[in-house]
Amino acid sequence: MINGKLTSSIIRPKTILNAATTATTKKPDMVTRFMKNGLVGKICETAAENPVMCQSIFSLAICCGARPVTNMITTKDKKDASYASCHSISSGVMGFVWPLIFATPLAAAVKMIAAKPQKFLKPETIKKFYPTVGLEKVMKNGKETLRVMTNSKGEMLRENGTKLLTNLEPLKLKGEAEAAGKIKKLTEKLAKTKSESKKLKIQSQIEDFRIKQQEFEAEKAAFEAMNPKLYVDVDTGVIRSREFFKTENGQFALNDKGEKIGCAIQKPEDKKALDRVLAGKQEAEILPITEDMEIGKNKEDNIKSIINWVPDILLAPPRAMLTIELIPRFLKLFGMEKQKKSAPAKDGTQQTQNNTTFKASPIKMPAFATLKTHSVAAPKKGGA
Protein backbone atom coordinates (compact mmCIF):
# COMPACT_ATOMS: atom_id res chain seq x y z
CA MET A 1 0.00 0.00 0.00
CA ILE A 2 2.76 2.41 0.93
CA ASN A 3 5.95 1.80 -0.98
CA GLY A 4 6.84 5.18 -2.41
CA LYS A 5 9.51 7.63 -1.38
CA LEU A 6 8.83 10.33 1.17
CA THR A 7 6.93 13.14 -0.46
CA SER A 8 6.19 15.25 2.57
CA SER A 9 6.92 15.58 6.24
CA ILE A 10 4.64 12.64 7.02
CA ILE A 11 6.42 9.32 7.68
CA ARG A 12 5.36 6.36 5.54
CA PRO A 13 6.25 3.37 7.71
CA LYS A 14 6.03 0.55 5.16
CA THR A 15 8.54 2.34 2.97
CA ILE A 16 11.08 2.62 5.76
CA LEU A 17 10.54 -0.84 7.24
CA ASN A 18 10.05 -2.84 4.06
CA ALA A 19 12.59 -5.48 5.11
CA ALA A 20 12.81 -5.35 8.87
CA THR A 21 13.26 -9.07 9.59
CA THR A 22 16.90 -10.05 10.13
CA ALA A 23 18.65 -13.34 9.46
CA THR A 24 18.32 -14.59 13.01
CA THR A 25 14.93 -13.06 13.80
CA LYS A 26 11.86 -15.02 12.77
CA LYS A 27 9.39 -12.51 14.16
CA PRO A 28 9.77 -8.69 13.98
CA ASP A 29 9.91 -6.75 17.23
CA MET A 30 6.98 -4.75 18.64
CA VAL A 31 8.03 -1.43 17.07
CA THR A 32 8.39 -3.02 13.63
CA ARG A 33 5.00 -4.72 13.87
CA PHE A 34 3.42 -1.42 14.92
CA MET A 35 5.01 0.53 12.06
CA LYS A 36 3.99 -2.12 9.49
CA ASN A 37 0.43 -2.28 10.80
CA GLY A 38 -2.14 -1.66 8.07
CA LEU A 39 -4.12 0.87 10.12
CA VAL A 40 -0.98 2.91 10.86
CA GLY A 41 -0.17 2.86 7.16
CA LYS A 42 -3.62 4.16 6.22
CA ILE A 43 -3.41 6.95 8.80
CA CYS A 44 0.02 8.04 7.56
CA GLU A 45 -1.09 7.81 3.94
CA THR A 46 -4.15 9.96 4.63
CA ALA A 47 -2.04 12.48 6.54
CA ALA A 48 0.47 12.63 3.68
CA GLU A 49 -2.31 13.35 1.19
CA ASN A 50 -3.99 15.98 3.45
CA PRO A 51 -1.14 17.80 5.25
CA VAL A 52 -3.07 21.02 5.91
CA MET A 53 -5.94 19.31 7.72
CA CYS A 54 -3.52 16.98 9.51
CA GLN A 55 -1.53 19.97 10.75
CA SER A 56 -4.73 21.66 11.97
CA ILE A 57 -5.83 18.57 13.91
CA PHE A 58 -2.47 18.25 15.65
CA SER A 59 -2.48 21.98 16.45
CA LEU A 60 -5.99 21.65 17.86
CA ALA A 61 -4.89 18.81 20.14
CA ILE A 62 -1.86 20.76 21.39
CA CYS A 63 -3.65 24.10 21.84
CA CYS A 64 -6.78 22.66 23.47
CA GLY A 65 -5.15 19.90 25.48
CA ALA A 66 -1.44 19.84 26.14
CA ARG A 67 -0.81 23.59 26.44
CA PRO A 68 -3.71 24.46 28.82
CA VAL A 69 -2.80 21.56 31.12
CA THR A 70 0.83 22.70 31.16
CA ASN A 71 -0.20 26.29 31.91
CA MET A 72 -2.41 25.29 34.84
CA ILE A 73 0.30 23.05 36.33
CA THR A 74 3.36 25.28 35.92
CA THR A 75 1.93 28.80 36.39
CA LYS A 76 1.47 29.93 40.00
CA ASP A 77 -0.88 32.78 39.16
CA LYS A 78 -4.05 30.87 38.25
CA LYS A 79 -5.66 33.97 36.76
CA ASP A 80 -2.80 34.36 34.27
CA ALA A 81 -2.88 30.61 33.68
CA SER A 82 -6.60 30.72 32.90
CA TYR A 83 -6.11 33.59 30.49
CA ALA A 84 -3.21 31.85 28.72
CA SER A 85 -5.20 28.61 28.51
CA CYS A 86 -8.26 30.36 27.10
CA HIS A 87 -6.04 32.18 24.61
CA SER A 88 -4.49 28.87 23.53
CA ILE A 89 -7.86 27.15 23.15
CA SER A 90 -9.22 30.08 21.13
CA SER A 91 -6.18 29.99 18.85
CA GLY A 92 -6.50 26.21 18.36
CA VAL A 93 -10.22 26.33 17.57
CA MET A 94 -9.81 29.16 15.09
CA GLY A 95 -6.81 27.48 13.53
CA PHE A 96 -8.94 24.38 12.97
CA VAL A 97 -12.08 26.15 11.76
CA TRP A 98 -10.13 28.28 9.28
CA PRO A 99 -8.86 25.40 7.08
CA LEU A 100 -12.16 23.57 7.56
CA ILE A 101 -14.05 26.48 6.01
CA PHE A 102 -11.55 27.93 3.55
CA ALA A 103 -8.58 25.60 3.02
CA THR A 104 -10.56 22.40 2.46
CA PRO A 105 -12.53 23.69 -0.58
CA LEU A 106 -9.37 25.26 -1.99
CA ALA A 107 -7.43 22.02 -1.46
CA ALA A 108 -10.22 20.07 -3.18
CA ALA A 109 -10.05 22.41 -6.17
CA VAL A 110 -6.26 22.18 -6.37
CA LYS A 111 -6.37 18.36 -6.17
CA MET A 112 -9.03 18.25 -8.89
CA ILE A 113 -6.74 20.24 -11.19
CA ALA A 114 -3.71 18.14 -10.19
CA ALA A 115 -5.59 14.88 -10.84
CA LYS A 116 -6.30 15.75 -14.48
CA PRO A 117 -4.16 18.78 -15.40
CA GLN A 118 -4.59 17.97 -19.11
CA LYS A 119 -8.08 19.49 -18.84
CA PHE A 120 -6.80 22.81 -17.50
CA LEU A 121 -3.17 23.18 -18.65
CA LYS A 122 -1.37 23.01 -21.98
CA PRO A 123 0.69 19.86 -22.70
CA GLU A 124 3.90 21.92 -22.85
CA THR A 125 3.19 23.33 -19.37
CA ILE A 126 2.47 19.86 -17.94
CA LYS A 127 5.76 18.63 -19.42
CA LYS A 128 7.64 21.27 -17.38
CA PHE A 129 6.06 20.01 -14.16
CA TYR A 130 6.29 16.30 -15.02
CA PRO A 131 9.34 15.66 -17.26
CA THR A 132 8.52 11.96 -17.74
CA VAL A 133 4.96 12.51 -18.97
CA GLY A 134 4.34 11.19 -22.46
CA LEU A 135 3.23 13.54 -25.25
CA GLU A 136 1.87 12.40 -28.61
CA LYS A 137 1.12 14.26 -31.82
CA VAL A 138 -2.49 14.26 -33.02
CA MET A 139 -4.49 16.06 -35.69
CA LYS A 140 -7.06 18.55 -34.39
CA ASN A 141 -9.10 20.82 -36.67
CA GLY A 142 -6.71 20.02 -39.51
CA LYS A 143 -3.64 21.02 -37.48
CA GLU A 144 -1.01 18.91 -35.78
CA THR A 145 -0.99 19.44 -32.04
CA LEU A 146 0.36 17.80 -28.88
CA ARG A 147 -1.70 15.76 -26.47
CA VAL A 148 -0.86 14.17 -23.12
CA MET A 149 -0.79 10.38 -23.21
CA THR A 150 -3.57 8.89 -21.04
CA ASN A 151 -5.02 5.45 -20.37
CA SER A 152 -8.66 4.35 -20.62
CA LYS A 153 -9.37 5.91 -17.20
CA GLY A 154 -8.02 9.31 -18.25
CA GLU A 155 -4.89 8.96 -16.08
CA MET A 156 -1.68 10.48 -17.44
CA LEU A 157 1.02 8.10 -18.63
CA ARG A 158 4.80 8.25 -18.70
CA GLU A 159 6.75 7.98 -21.94
CA ASN A 160 7.18 4.23 -21.39
CA GLY A 161 3.42 3.72 -21.02
CA THR A 162 3.25 3.34 -17.22
CA LYS A 163 0.92 5.44 -15.11
CA LEU A 164 2.29 8.79 -13.97
CA LEU A 165 2.73 9.50 -10.24
CA THR A 166 3.19 5.82 -9.41
CA ASN A 167 6.22 4.36 -7.68
CA LEU A 168 9.09 3.02 -9.76
CA GLU A 169 9.19 -0.23 -7.83
CA PRO A 170 11.50 -2.82 -9.42
CA LEU A 171 10.33 -6.34 -10.23
CA LYS A 172 11.81 -8.83 -7.76
CA LEU A 173 11.57 -12.58 -7.31
CA LYS A 174 9.70 -13.86 -4.28
CA GLY A 175 12.54 -16.14 -3.18
CA GLU A 176 15.15 -15.02 -0.66
CA ALA A 177 18.15 -13.84 -2.70
CA GLU A 178 20.10 -12.94 0.43
CA ALA A 179 20.20 -16.59 1.59
CA ALA A 180 23.71 -17.18 0.22
CA GLY A 181 25.12 -14.16 2.02
CA LYS A 182 23.42 -15.14 5.27
CA ILE A 183 24.83 -18.68 5.01
CA LYS A 184 28.32 -17.19 4.67
CA LYS A 185 27.90 -15.00 7.77
CA LEU A 186 26.44 -17.83 9.84
CA THR A 187 29.28 -20.14 8.77
CA GLU A 188 31.84 -17.58 9.98
CA LYS A 189 29.91 -17.22 13.24
CA LEU A 190 29.80 -21.00 13.66
CA ALA A 191 33.60 -21.23 13.42
CA LYS A 192 33.98 -18.80 16.33
CA THR A 193 31.28 -20.38 18.54
CA LYS A 194 32.38 -22.74 21.34
CA SER A 195 29.06 -23.58 22.96
CA GLU A 196 27.60 -26.82 21.61
CA SER A 197 24.00 -25.67 22.06
CA LYS A 198 24.66 -22.47 20.09
CA LYS A 199 26.44 -24.47 17.38
CA LEU A 200 23.40 -26.68 16.93
CA LYS A 201 21.15 -23.64 16.68
CA ILE A 202 23.39 -21.97 14.06
CA GLN A 203 23.64 -25.20 12.06
CA SER A 204 19.87 -25.44 12.01
CA GLN A 205 19.65 -21.88 10.69
CA ILE A 206 22.23 -22.66 8.00
CA GLU A 207 20.20 -25.65 6.83
CA ASP A 208 17.06 -23.51 6.65
CA PHE A 209 18.83 -20.93 4.51
CA ARG A 210 20.31 -23.62 2.25
CA ILE A 211 16.79 -24.78 1.45
CA LYS A 212 15.79 -21.17 0.71
CA GLN A 213 18.87 -20.75 -1.47
CA GLN A 214 17.96 -23.81 -3.53
CA GLU A 215 14.39 -22.54 -3.93
CA PHE A 216 15.67 -19.15 -5.08
CA GLU A 217 18.11 -20.67 -7.60
CA ALA A 218 15.33 -22.84 -9.06
CA GLU A 219 13.03 -19.80 -9.32
CA LYS A 220 15.85 -17.79 -10.92
CA ALA A 221 16.58 -20.49 -13.51
CA ALA A 222 12.90 -20.81 -14.47
CA PHE A 223 12.49 -17.04 -14.81
CA GLU A 224 15.59 -16.54 -16.96
CA ALA A 225 14.54 -19.45 -19.20
CA MET A 226 11.17 -17.73 -19.80
CA ASN A 227 12.77 -14.25 -20.21
CA PRO A 228 16.08 -14.50 -22.13
CA LYS A 229 16.44 -10.70 -22.37
CA LEU A 230 16.39 -10.37 -18.58
CA TYR A 231 18.52 -11.68 -15.73
CA VAL A 232 18.15 -11.91 -11.96
CA ASP A 233 20.54 -10.08 -9.63
CA VAL A 234 21.82 -12.88 -7.37
CA ASP A 235 22.43 -10.49 -4.45
CA THR A 236 19.03 -8.78 -4.35
CA GLY A 237 16.68 -10.82 -6.56
CA VAL A 238 15.89 -7.73 -8.66
CA ILE A 239 15.12 -8.37 -12.35
CA ARG A 240 17.47 -6.47 -14.69
CA SER A 241 17.71 -5.93 -18.43
CA ARG A 242 20.46 -7.35 -20.67
CA GLU A 243 19.90 -4.59 -23.26
CA PHE A 244 19.34 -1.39 -21.24
CA PHE A 245 22.09 -0.45 -18.79
CA LYS A 246 22.01 1.56 -15.59
CA THR A 247 23.74 4.96 -15.53
CA GLU A 248 24.81 7.28 -12.71
CA ASN A 249 25.39 10.94 -13.62
CA GLY A 250 25.43 9.89 -17.27
CA GLN A 251 28.10 7.21 -16.78
CA PHE A 252 27.51 3.46 -16.95
CA ALA A 253 27.33 1.80 -13.51
CA LEU A 254 29.72 -1.14 -13.15
CA ASN A 255 29.74 -4.10 -10.77
CA ASP A 256 32.76 -5.51 -8.91
CA LYS A 257 33.88 -7.37 -12.06
CA GLY A 258 33.78 -4.16 -14.15
CA GLU A 259 30.70 -5.29 -16.05
CA LYS A 260 27.77 -3.01 -16.91
CA ILE A 261 24.76 -3.30 -14.61
CA GLY A 262 21.42 -3.67 -16.35
CA CYS A 263 18.50 -1.36 -15.59
CA ALA A 264 15.98 -2.70 -13.12
CA ILE A 265 12.62 -3.63 -14.66
CA GLN A 266 9.51 -1.94 -13.35
CA LYS A 267 7.07 -4.10 -11.42
CA PRO A 268 3.71 -4.65 -13.21
CA GLU A 269 0.82 -2.72 -11.70
CA ASP A 270 -1.65 -5.52 -12.44
CA LYS A 271 -1.42 -8.06 -9.59
CA LYS A 272 -2.65 -10.94 -11.73
CA ALA A 273 -0.04 -10.21 -14.40
CA LEU A 274 2.61 -10.00 -11.68
CA ASP A 275 1.68 -13.42 -10.32
CA ARG A 276 1.81 -14.99 -13.80
CA VAL A 277 5.22 -13.43 -14.49
CA LEU A 278 6.71 -14.63 -11.20
CA ALA A 279 5.21 -18.09 -11.70
CA GLY A 280 6.94 -18.38 -15.06
CA LYS A 281 3.67 -18.54 -17.01
CA GLN A 282 4.07 -15.21 -18.82
CA GLU A 283 6.95 -13.14 -20.16
CA ALA A 284 7.68 -9.95 -18.25
CA GLU A 285 7.06 -6.66 -20.01
CA ILE A 286 10.39 -4.88 -20.37
CA LEU A 287 9.97 -1.46 -18.76
CA PRO A 288 13.50 -0.40 -17.70
CA ILE A 289 13.86 2.11 -14.86
CA THR A 290 16.42 4.55 -16.28
CA GLU A 291 18.25 7.36 -14.53
CA ASP A 292 16.08 9.95 -16.31
CA MET A 293 12.96 8.21 -15.00
CA GLU A 294 14.29 8.24 -11.44
CA ILE A 295 15.11 11.96 -11.70
CA GLY A 296 11.67 12.59 -13.17
CA LYS A 297 10.02 10.60 -10.36
CA ASN A 298 11.79 12.76 -7.76
CA LYS A 299 10.46 15.86 -9.52
CA GLU A 300 6.97 14.34 -9.58
CA ASP A 301 7.17 13.75 -5.82
CA ASN A 302 8.32 17.33 -5.24
CA ILE A 303 5.49 18.75 -7.35
CA LYS A 304 3.00 16.55 -5.51
CA SER A 305 4.26 17.84 -2.15
CA ILE A 306 4.06 21.46 -3.30
CA ILE A 307 0.51 20.94 -4.56
CA ASN A 308 -0.50 19.50 -1.19
CA TRP A 309 0.85 22.59 0.58
CA VAL A 310 -0.52 25.21 -1.86
CA PRO A 311 -3.70 25.92 0.19
CA ASP A 312 -1.72 26.46 3.38
CA ILE A 313 0.84 28.67 1.61
CA LEU A 314 -1.86 30.87 0.05
CA LEU A 315 -4.02 31.16 3.16
CA ALA A 316 -1.33 31.44 5.85
CA PRO A 317 -0.96 35.28 5.85
CA PRO A 318 -4.70 36.13 5.96
CA ARG A 319 -5.27 33.34 8.53
CA ALA A 320 -2.62 34.82 10.84
CA MET A 321 -4.02 38.35 10.49
CA LEU A 322 -7.61 37.23 11.09
CA THR A 323 -6.61 35.13 14.09
CA ILE A 324 -4.77 38.05 15.71
CA GLU A 325 -7.79 40.29 15.09
CA LEU A 326 -10.49 37.94 16.37
CA ILE A 327 -8.89 36.27 19.40
CA PRO A 328 -9.16 39.36 21.70
CA ARG A 329 -12.85 39.70 20.80
CA PHE A 330 -13.38 36.00 21.39
CA LEU A 331 -11.78 36.28 24.85
CA LYS A 332 -13.84 39.39 25.68
CA LEU A 333 -17.01 37.51 24.79
CA PHE A 334 -16.26 34.95 27.53
CA GLY A 335 -15.10 37.53 30.06
CA MET A 336 -11.42 36.62 29.81
CA GLU A 337 -10.17 39.94 28.51
CA LYS A 338 -6.82 40.79 30.02
CA GLN A 339 -6.79 44.06 31.96
CA LYS A 340 -4.15 46.57 31.00
CA LYS A 341 -1.77 47.48 33.79
CA SER A 342 -2.01 51.21 34.69
CA ALA A 343 1.23 53.18 35.01
CA PRO A 344 2.19 54.20 38.63
CA ALA A 345 1.33 57.80 39.50
CA LYS A 346 4.25 60.16 40.05
CA ASP A 347 4.66 61.80 43.48
CA GLY A 348 4.81 65.55 42.86
CA THR A 349 6.17 66.38 46.34
CA GLN A 350 9.04 63.95 46.03
CA GLN A 351 9.82 65.21 42.51
CA THR A 352 9.92 68.83 43.75
CA GLN A 353 12.16 67.86 46.66
CA ASN A 354 14.53 66.09 44.32
CA ASN A 355 14.72 69.13 42.06
CA THR A 356 15.40 71.40 45.06
CA THR A 357 18.11 69.13 46.30
CA PHE A 358 19.72 69.11 42.89
CA LYS A 359 19.74 72.94 42.70
CA ALA A 360 21.09 73.35 46.24
CA SER A 361 23.93 70.93 45.76
CA PRO A 362 27.29 72.69 45.37
CA ILE A 363 29.17 72.16 42.14
CA LYS A 364 32.42 70.48 42.91
CA MET A 365 35.41 71.75 40.93
CA PRO A 366 38.33 69.57 40.04
CA ALA A 367 41.37 69.84 42.27
CA PHE A 368 43.65 71.10 39.48
CA ALA A 369 41.23 73.92 38.68
CA THR A 370 41.90 75.47 42.15
CA LEU A 371 45.65 75.26 41.67
CA LYS A 372 45.39 76.88 38.28
CA THR A 373 43.35 79.81 39.65
CA HIS A 374 45.88 80.40 42.44
CA SER A 375 48.73 80.29 39.98
CA VAL A 376 47.22 83.00 37.79
CA ALA A 377 46.52 85.32 40.71
CA ALA A 378 50.11 85.11 42.18
CA PRO A 379 52.64 87.92 41.22
CA LYS A 380 55.35 86.91 38.78
CA LYS A 381 59.04 86.97 39.84
CA GLY A 382 62.09 87.79 37.62
CA GLY A 383 62.72 90.22 34.65
CA ALA A 384 62.03 90.10 31.04
- Residues in Cβ contact with 138 at an 8 Å cutoff, skipping those fewer than 6 apart: 144, 145, 146, 147
Comparison of pLDDT for 236 and 369, the residue scoring more: 236
Same domain, 324 and 223: no
Q: Which letter does DSSP use for residue 100 in this model?
A: I
- Same domain? For 223 and 326 the reply is no
Residues above pLDDT 90, as percent of the chain: 17
55 shares a domain with 110: yes
Residue 194 lies in a domain: yes
Q: How far apart are CA 64 and CA 79, in angstroms?
A: 17
Structural domain contains residue 59: yes
Tell which of 227, 253, 288 closes a domain: 288
Residue 236's domain spans which residues? 179-288
In total, the chain counts a number of residues equal to: 384
Residues 59, 133 within the same domain: yes
pLDDT of residue 74: 84
Q: Average pLDDT of 295-319?
A: 78
pLDDT digits (tens, 9 = 90+) for 7-16: 333 344 444 4
Indicate whether 125 and 203 sit together in one domain: no
Asked whether residue 305 is assigned to any structural domain, the reply reads yes
Q: Give residue 2's identity as a one-letter amino acid code.
A: I
Any domain includes 250: yes
Count the neighbouring beta carbons within 10 Å of the beta carbon of residue 48.
Answer: 21
Statement to judge: residues 284 and 323 lie in one domain: no
- 123 and 198 both lie in a single domain: no
Task: Summarize pLDDT for 158-193 with one digit per residue, the tens.
Answer: 887 888 877 788 999 988 888 888 999 999 999 998
pLDDT digits (tens, 9 = 90+) for 253-291: 998 888 999 999 999 888 888 888 888 788 888 889 988
Among 43-47, 48-52, 87-91, 280-284, whose mean pLDDT is lowest?
48-52
Residue 63 lies in a domain: yes
The segment with the largest mean pLDDT, out of 71-75, 93-97, 148-152, 304-308, is 148-152
Task: Give domain status of residue 159, yes or no.
Answer: yes
* Structural domains of the chain, count: 2
Q: With respect to residue 98, please indicate whether it lies within any of the assigned structural domains.
A: yes
